[in-house]
Chain A
Amino acid sequence: MARIRLQSVGKRYPNGFSALENLSLEIEDKAFVVLLGPSGCGKSTTLNLIAGLEDVTSGALYFDEQIMNVVPAHRRDVAMVFQSYALYPHKSVYENIAFGLRMRGHPAADIDRRVKDAARRLELEALLDRRPHQLSGGQRQRVALGRALVRQPAVFLMDEPLSNLDATLRIAMRAEIKQLHQTMQTTFVYVTHDQAEALTLADQIVVMRDGVIQQIGSPEEIYDRPRNTFVASFLGNPPINYLEGMLTEEGEALCFQRGSLSLVLPHALALRLKGQAGRSVKLGLRAEEVDEHSVPRPGETLHGRVSSVLPVGSDQYLGFEAEGKLLFFRVGRDLRHREGENVALSVNVNRLQIFDSGTGDSLLWSGNGA
């Protein structure tokens, strides 16, 4: 069991590229932490540092209280599942799963029992004699999981383990991994660029960009209280909409103003924006935070024209022209809007996000407030 601590960690590759800078992160024992970010932001690098596959250039890495910077991978009690699965092509499924135990000198009987246990649990029993090239993608994925879990490691690392699977299998495996975490009782660090995966699996999400952590928090925190526009944009489908405008004071109330649009901010938000009236800001409006059923009330109304209707099965996406910008909303499919119609949508003002229009930092949740 292990708590993982990265303290001001930097990673510079031999070619001079600095992939991580001054990264600090604490992962609780038995937590399920997801590193989330676009491709190339340094997620795999972070994972490789934890695994010992790459050396830390600066800073310190601890497992519990022990510094791990120079401990080689084979001396760390970690297991890892790779995106490409990386099964040994010349070994049978059985030997692939058993290899880690053999290398660590477990007695043969113990190896056999553990491999068979893992195989039963992952429904691989019938495949133990096959070679990896005789397996389907989903089966290979399960062998890769088996190879990792059979060792009962202190830290379980996964680098985009599901991204090579088709959509249905991916959802099923998500549930399986979640369950695995619950039964194994070890620390999981999981890398993905898929926000849905992160939101379903994580206790804690770490959003990264260009080697820098943008925000750490529970899925709800990350989704509801994004620290900046990068985090806000990365989660949500379709992505959050932005409108540039001004904060204005109208009597008691604080408003967001843009052209003819005026949204009255609820008291809770207004409190956090004290003294900011007159500032030009960027309003963030999530795709699902409009209500097309309720009758719009003044100060919560968005007027515009429907420019496209895109059914996506359970929902439909609404392309919406308002205040000279094209916004996208997600609405129920029972709604029958036509292209070209003028519509007034009721905005859920309690869920509005306000960002600095220059830096993109949240004026609601950055720093102390979050």
Chain B
Amino acid sequence: MTALERAGHRVFLAAASVVFLAYVLAPVAWLASSSVQQEAEITSRPPHWIPQRPTPENFAAIFEAKEKQVTYENRRQGDPATGGYIPSTARNLMPAMWNSLIVAVAVVVLNLLVSVPAAYAMAKIRFIGRSASIYFMLITRVIPDIALVVPFFLFIRKLGLLDHLGSLVITYLAITVPFSVFILVSYFESLPDELDKAARIDGCSRLQTLLLVYVPLAVPSLVAVILFTFLTSWNEFLLALMFTQTPASQTMPIVVASFASDFTISFSFINAAGVLAVVPPVVLAIAFERYIVSGLTAGAVKG
């Protein structure tokens, strides 16, 4: 390869990266930009990527929504400053975010409590039915969620958990545990059996082996599992739509979706809600940043 060819190669790669980044980031940029625009500006053509008259009103509306009674009669009064429309359910957003956070954290914690020991057992203890149980768990994930909605619903109703956060925690665990176990099994299997044996010879019980030797080594995979589980819970829509009915248990995606079905739609307000919805996952991603890439590939090495 000549120097010229090499340079050309580099330029091509750089250009391709820019195109790809623009493709991925443009919607996010538009989300962020439009969330501080007024309803009038958001609909202007061509769109303003840089807001000409940025306004915090949409966010203010969300954080102050609690104190305001938005009704059919007064909705048009809305916010004099923006002239935008604040949906009648705006006040539900913050409680819904809080619900989402509770559910996601609970699912992450319970998921780890179940999937880490399960994965260790499947990877390192040879019991009868070991491979069958791994396959069975994966097969449950081949079934689309929509097919499970009705059985889940009946089940949740029998448990008396309709319109209760518990219904979401239970069903999200059913969705996330198999995949978490799968990621961790392949990682634990990639660690040599002799490590397990050495720990037990050194005086560890099975549980101590898991906690003192395997878990510290599995941190990248655990981070992958935490992220996957958190994001799945945070974004889940279908089941939450079925099982929650009142603000007591509604989660963020349900409430945001309800904004779009209000009498009138305020896109800038919805986008402001969208920006808030992005914050927790981003915080999580930044916190675990240095493990993310190695974790995502760790599970992929084997299995």
Which residues from chain A sit less than 8 Å from chain B, CB to CB? 13-14, 48, 51-53, 72-74, 78-80, 82-84, 86-90, 99-100, 103-104, 147
Contact = CB atoms under 8 A, between A and B. Distances in A.
Contact of B203 (A51, A74, A82): A74
A86 B198 contact: yes
Nearest to B216: A90
Contact of A72 (B128, B205, B213): B205
A100 B197 contact: no
B202 interface: yes
A104 B201 contact: no
A86 B126 contact: no
Contacts of A83: 194
Given A14-B126, A74-B203, A103 B197 contact: no
Contacts of B202: 74, 99-100, 103, 147
11 contacts: A51-B201, A72-B205, A73-B200, A78-B201, A83-B194, A88-B195, A88-B213, A89-B217, A100-B203, A103-B202, A147-B202
Contacts of B194: 82-84, 86
Q: Per DSSP, are chain B's interface residues mostly helix, strand or loop, or mixed?
A: helix
B198 to A, nearest CB: 4
Given A13-B126, A89-B217, A51 B204 contact: no
B198 A80 contact: yes
Interface residues of B, number: 20
Contact of B197 (A51, A72, A89, A90): A51
B208 interface: yes
B197 A74 contact: no
B200 A86 contact: no
Nearest to A157: B201
Please indicate which of the listed interface residues A51, A52, A80, A104 has the most CB atoms of chain B within 10 Å of its own CB: A80
Contacts of A99: 199, 202
Contacts of B216: 90
- The dominant DSSP class at the A interface is loop
A48 B128 CA distance: 19
Contact of A74 (B192, B205, B213): B205
A53 B208 contact: no
Interface string B121-165: 000001110100000000000000000000000000000000000
Interface in B184-226: 192, 194-195, 197-205, 208, 213, 216-217
Contacts of B197: 48, 51, 53, 73, 80, 82, 86
B205 A82 contact: no
Given A51-B197, A79-B201, A80-B201, A86 B192 contact: yes
A160 to B, nearest CB: 11
B204 A103 contact: yes
B200 A74 contact: yes
Nearest to B125: A14
Given A88-B213, A89-B217, A90-B216, A73 B201 contact: yes
Given A14-B127, A103-B204, 11 more contacts: A14-B126, A14-B128, A74-B204, A74-B205, A86-B192, A86-B198, A88-B195, A88-B213, A100-B201, A103-B208, A104-B203
User: Chain B CB within 10 Å — which of A14, A86, A89, A104 has the most?
Assistant: A86
Nearest to A80: B201
Residue in A13, A51, A78, A100 with the greatest tally of chain B CB atoms within 10 Å = A100
A82 B217 contact: no
Contact of A53 (B192, B200, B203, B213): B200
A117 B195 CA distance: 24
Contacts of A147: 198, 202
B36 to A, nearest CB: 46
Point out which of A14, A48, A51, A72 has the most chain B C-beta atoms below 10 A from its C-beta.
A14
A93 to B, nearest CB: 14
Contacts of A88: 195, 198-199, 213
A60 B51 CA distance: 81
A118 to B, nearest CB: 14
A147 to B, nearest CB: 7
Nearest to B198: A86
A329 to B, nearest CB: 41
Contacts of B208: 103
Nearest to B217: A90
Contacts of B204: 74, 103
Nearest to B130: A14
A99 B208 CA distance: 12
Contacts of A13: 126
Contacts of A72: 200, 205
A110 to B, nearest CB: 15
Contacts of B128: 14
Contacts of B198: 80, 82, 86-88, 147
Contacts of A14: 126-128, 130
Contacts of A90: 216-217
A88 to B, nearest CB: 6
Nearest to B128: A14
A104 B201 CA distance: 11
A147 B197 CA distance: 13
Contacts of A73: 197, 200-201
A73 B199 CA distance: 10
A84 B202 CA distance: 16
A137 to B, nearest CB: 15
Contacts of B192: 84, 86
A104 B202 CA distance: 8
